[in-house]
Amino acid sequence: MTIEIYSKKDKRIKITSPSKKDGFAVANLIERSPPLDINSTYLYLIQSHYFNNTCSIAFDGNEVVAFVSGFINPSNNNSLFIWQVAIDENYRGKGLGIELIEFILKQNKNVISIETTVTKANTASRRMFQKIQEKYHTKISELILFDKEKDFSNKHATEILIEIGPINREHKNENI
């Protein structure tokens, strides 16, 4: 499945599932998208190849401008864990992250909740997930999953688990 949306300059943005040929371009996008944690190019190749039904990618022409990586939670096959949302600086603030997550939801009809981790300082991601919660008229909860001291030896900020759900696709607010 592929969808096209239009940016403010009437450019067509194509959203689709990634393939392994996109892995290197995804790694480059992540590198230019601080403060995201940079993983190996190999990881992005694996995600684009083996987890392409729970990831999405956006192209402006042939250029990768956004990527969302996710996977189905192994202990709850109705929950989508969103790992990273990377949006090129020139495409931020336009709702592209939400479009990419909704693309994944359309591919995975059994998903009824979304999980992700964010730091307190990541206000852009926190706002995006709040909008998803509002759009689907559902609940959102937060709890510490990975503690700065206990899990990261003070080398990374605390990661807070955000859970959104249950997702009611029939009561989606299209105006958000």
User: CB of 18 within 8 A of CB of 30?
Assistant: no
Spatial CA neighbour of 68 closest among 95, 86, 94: 86
pLDDT at 9: 56
Cα distance between residue 51 and residue 49, in whole Å: 6
The token pair that represents 98 in the structure block: 């939400």
Cα distance between residue 111 and residue 79, in whole Å: 5
pLDDT at 116: 98
pLDDT at 170: 73
pLDDT at 83: 95
H/E element holding 127?
Answer: helix 123-135
Q: Note the pLDDT tens digit of each residue in 67-93.
A: 999 999 999 999 999 999 999 999 999
pLDDT at 34: 85
> In 3-state terms, what secondary structure has residue 66?
strand
Ranges of residues in the chain with a pLDDT under 70 are 2, 4-11, 171-176
Q: How far is CA 18 from the centre of its chain?
A: 13
Cα distance between residue 60 and residue 33, in whole Å: 17
User: CB of 42 within 8 A of CB of 76?
Assistant: no
- Global pTM reads 0.90
Given CA atoms 159, 134, 115, 2 in this order, what sign does their dihedral have? Answer: negative
> In 3-state terms, what secondary structure has residue 148?
coil
